[in-house]
């Protein structure tokens, strides 16, 4: 009898966990706890921009006239909504969508109100 109740609990838990997949939030296991992290521009976001974006969105003639090289530039784009939208849709970077964990951290930065450092 006890075993049956035990398995019931396990199944209920599995059910609960799989429901989370419907949310837009990250599901990759290595992203666990991302919503407790303090993500900052200097500590994280700037690196992602340098690795994936500024080769086009920087320099003397940035793509789409959008430079993403400074805090003010990235924040303005993020506040417009286009920045995260372009990445979460997989439109940017053109070479392929960023992994879920990176996206989750960028989203967390927005939730925190775009802290610089
Ligand atoms: C290989 C060059 C390249 C890279 C790398 C790149 N972009 Fe772009 N991006 C473009 C081009 C070209 C456009 C304009 C045409 C289009 O929308 O596809 C654009 C458009 C955009 C727009 C829309 C601008 C608007 O006016 O609404 C956003 C936002 C954006 N990129 C963000 C990013 C972010 C964030 C990254 C890094 C994760 C990134 N891009 C990486 C070339 C690039």
Quick: pLDDT tens for 72-112: 999 999 999 999 999 999 999 999 999 999 999 999 999 99
Identify the pLDDT of residue 12: 55
Quick: pLDDT tens for 14-57: 544 444 444 444 444 578 999 999 999 999 999 999 999 999 99
Residue nearest to atom 2 of ligand 1 (CA): 56
Identify the pLDDT of residue 31: 87
What is the distance between the alpha carbons of residues 59 and 63, in angstroms, rounded to a whole number? 9
Sequence-separated (6 or more) residues with CB below 8 Å from residue 87:
93, 97, 98, 103, 106
How far is ligand 1, taken at its centre, from the CA of residue 113, in Å? 22
Identify the pLDDT of residue 21: 41
Q: Would you say the C-alpha torsion 72, 73, 78, 81 has a positive or negative sign?
A: positive
List the one residue out of 51, 52, 75, 77 whose CA is nearest residue 64: 77
Q: Where residue 6 falls among pLDDT bands split at 50, 70, 90?
A: low
Residue in the block written with tokens 């296991």: 29
* Residues contacting ligand 1 via CB (< 6 Å): 52-53, 55-57, 63-64, 66, 68, 77, 82-83, 86-87, 92-94
């Amino acid at each position: 009898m006890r075993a049956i109740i035990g398995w019931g609990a396990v199944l209920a838990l599995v059910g609960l966990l799989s429901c989370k997949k419907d949310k837009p939030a990250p599901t990759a296991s290595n992203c666990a706890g991302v919503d407790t992290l303090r993500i900052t521009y200097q500590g994280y976001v700037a690196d992602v921009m340098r690795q994936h974006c500024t080769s086009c969105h920087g320099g003397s003639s940035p793509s789409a006239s959008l430079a993403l090289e400074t805090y003010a530039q990235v924040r303005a784009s993020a506040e417009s909504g286009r920045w995260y939208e372009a990445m979460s849709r997989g439109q940017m970077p053109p070479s392929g969508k960023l992994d879920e964990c990176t996206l989750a951290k960028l989203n967390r930065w927005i939730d925190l109100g775009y802290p610089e450092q």
